[in-house]
Amino acid sequence: MQLFKNIQHSIHHYSDRNAFFINGVFYKYIDFAKSIAAIRLAIEQSTSETDKIIGVITNDDLETYASIFALWFLGKAYVPINPDNPIDRNKNIIQQAGIHTILDSSAIPSITDIHLIETARLPETAINLTPNLISDEALVYLLFTSGTTGQPKGVPITRSNLTAFVTAFESIGINVHESDRCLQMFELTFDLSVFSYLIPLLKGACVYTIPKDKIKYSYIFELMEEQQLTVSLMVPSMLHYLRNYFNEINLPLMKYSMFCGEALPLDITKEWSHCLPNAAIYNVYGPTEDTIFCTQYAYDKNGENKTHHGVLSIGEAMEGTITIIIDEDINPLPVGEIGQLCLGGTQLTPGYWKNEEKNKEAFFYLQYNGLLQRFYKTGDLCKCDEKGDILYLGRIDFQTKIQGFRVELSEIEFHAKTFLGKRNVVAIAFPDLVGNTELGLVIESDEFDHSPLIDYLKSKMPIYMIPKLIVFSKDFPLNTNGKTDRKKLGLLFKDNLTEKVY
């Protein structure tokens, strides 16, 4: 409850300061408060007390963000619905979540066969930001992520989960103030967006968003320089797109630069650090199931950094999070042993939405420090060192077997990147024409003679780890979360199965 009172206090206290910069326009906290109040009243007047989960169309405007906070003050949860996603996927989400009402600021609503509150057309009303008295176990949001069956799976996060995250984040020592200018680069269906708007708004800072019709990386480049941003959280893929501009980027006012969502390479982190000479750089980690992120590692500009195959450590657990590494039989492994990272503690979701079968697969109980604790299997392959820092080795499903040998795709990527310098690469396991598993490598580049690369890889790895096929892509595709889309890259091998590099 205290978290939402703190949000209320911040909005009132900083009423004359800028809260958002959206598509070239500044909006003050008082504008935000007015929008929240109008939407809140519309929800109260047209929905029932039992209507606890409301859909929000994810537009890039003030009303969309105000819709989230209006729901939170009422004690309701939001489900973000991307209007650019296939209509069948959105209908599936609406059905699974049991949504009866949708908040939409669009000029032309994309979903009309459901109770709709058009949030951009509401009359002004008296400001009311007082949070309703609601149980800490009530939901704040329900996000749907990709499922292995092709059906999106829902991840509910409670008020206590979100409070635990904010408490843990504040204990790291990253101090956001009212004078800060903070990047929000994420689509609202991606949980990293919650950090990018919530933490700044709690502190009276200004949130700078990315319009949907802009090229994301080039807009970020311009935004960082023109508006002199001071705090950013990005996926590492953005650095690969910005790398060509590193010589032009100079951000002396940047205080904190954080990365999450993908493996963060040490080499590009070092180059990026020269662009922001006064910033602290953090690699943070966490799945949607554990509320935004739950581990952190501070990059050392002047000393040694912990890495595995050139990938920066994801660090140690934040306050309230428990981390263990297990073998295939769910036995905790000692320091230095490789296994699956599992998470427990106060940020952990209650479980997948109405999916007991998936819950049985992903969650388990284990005696830990004398208590029976609930854990989540992340699917990430890791090991832990003596000081508690976790080294990320890749996804368990990024492991494959070639001729009976277990192969980490990240190891192939590490050696290829070492030889190729600044070029981005992704290793892929794919089936050949007779169904055997082969290894391929996608290089983000125009085509070139790759025989020297193969010779180099042969000098570093066993022959069964050498890619049988190399393809080139001028630009790596990104998914809606801004991450490299490995599935689309894997499709490149279907048209080239007859070609071999040696």
Reference 222, options 186, 253, 199, 251; nearest CA is 251
Residue 376 inside a domain? The answer is yes
Give the phi and the psi of residue 73 in degrees, each rounded to 5: -65, -30
Spatial separation of the C-alpha atoms in residues 73 and 10, rounded to whole Å: 13
Identify the segments of the chain with pLDDT beneath 70. Answer: 146-150, 399, 401, 403-406, 434-435, 495-502
Residue 162 inside a domain? The answer is yes
Residue 166 inside a domain? The answer is yes
Q: Which residue has tokens 């990320």?
A: 392
Question: Do 97 and 152 share a domain, yes or no?
Answer: yes
Neighbours of 182 (CB within 10 A): 23
Write down which residue in 267, 288, 312 finishes a domain: 312
Spatial separation of the C-alpha atoms in residues 405 and 6, rounded to whole Å: 54
Q: Tell me the pLDDT tens digit for each residue of 218-250.
A: 899 999 999 999 999 998 888 988 988 999 999
Spatial separation of the C-alpha atoms in residues 318 and 374, rounded to whole Å: 17
Question: Do 348 and 375 share a domain, yes or no?
Answer: yes
Which ranges of 382-496 does DSSP label H, i.e. alpha helix?
A: 409-420, 451-460, 486-491
Write down which residue in 394, 417, 443 finishes a domain: 394
Spatial separation of the C-alpha atoms in residues 181 and 19, rounded to whole Å: 9
Residue 502 inside a domain? The answer is no
Residue 111 inside a domain? The answer is yes
Question: Do 155 and 202 share a domain, yes or no?
Answer: yes
Question: Do 384 and 416 share a domain, yes or no?
Answer: no
Residue 317 inside a domain? The answer is no
Q: How far is CA 281 from CA 164, 225, 257, 260, 428, in A?
A: 23, 18, 5, 11, 29
Residue 501 inside a domain? The answer is no
The per-residue pLDDT for 247 is 93
- Judge contact between 111 and 57, C-beta under 8 A: yes
Q: Tell me the pLDDT tens digit for each residue of 169-179.
A: 999 999 999 99
Tokens encoding 24: 């070239």
**At 471, which CATH number?**
3.30.300.30
Reference 135, options 77, 80, 69; nearest CA is 77
Spatial separation of the C-alpha atoms in residues 449 and 443, rounded to whole Å: 12
Question: Do 270 and 334 share a domain, yes or no?
Answer: no
Question: Do 183 and 56 share a domain, yes or no?
Answer: yes
Neighbours of 437 (CB within 10 A): 13
Write down which residue in 289, 312, 335 finishes a domain: 312
**What does R_g of the chain's alpha carbons equal in angstroms?**
23
Question: Do 273 and 143 share a domain, yes or no?
Answer: yes
Spatial separation of the C-alpha atoms in residues 9 and 15, rounded to whole Å: 10
Domain range for 231 is 2-312
The structural domain count of the chain equals: 3
Question: Do 40 and 184 share a domain, yes or no?
Answer: yes
Spatial separation of the C-alpha atoms in residues 291 and 42, rounded to whole Å: 29
Question: Do 112 and 250 share a domain, yes or no?
Answer: yes
Spatial separation of the C-alpha atoms in residues 26 and 23, rounded to whole Å: 9
Question: Do 82 and 170 share a domain, yes or no?
Answer: yes
* Bridge partners of residue 55, in order along the sequence: 79, 102
3-state secondary structure (DSSP) of residue 163: helix
* H or E segment to which residue 25 belongs: strand 25-28
Question: Do 230 and 135 share a domain, yes or no?
Answer: yes
**At 227, which CATH number?**
3.40.50.12780
Reference 131, options 224, 36, 200, 219; nearest CA is 36
Q: What is the DSSP string of 108-119?
A: S-S--SSEEEEG
Question: Do 145 and 274 share a domain, yes or no?
Answer: yes
**At 353, which CATH number?**
2.30.38.10
Spatial separation of the C-alpha atoms in residues 377 and 470, rounded to whole Å: 33
Residue 169 inside a domain? The answer is yes
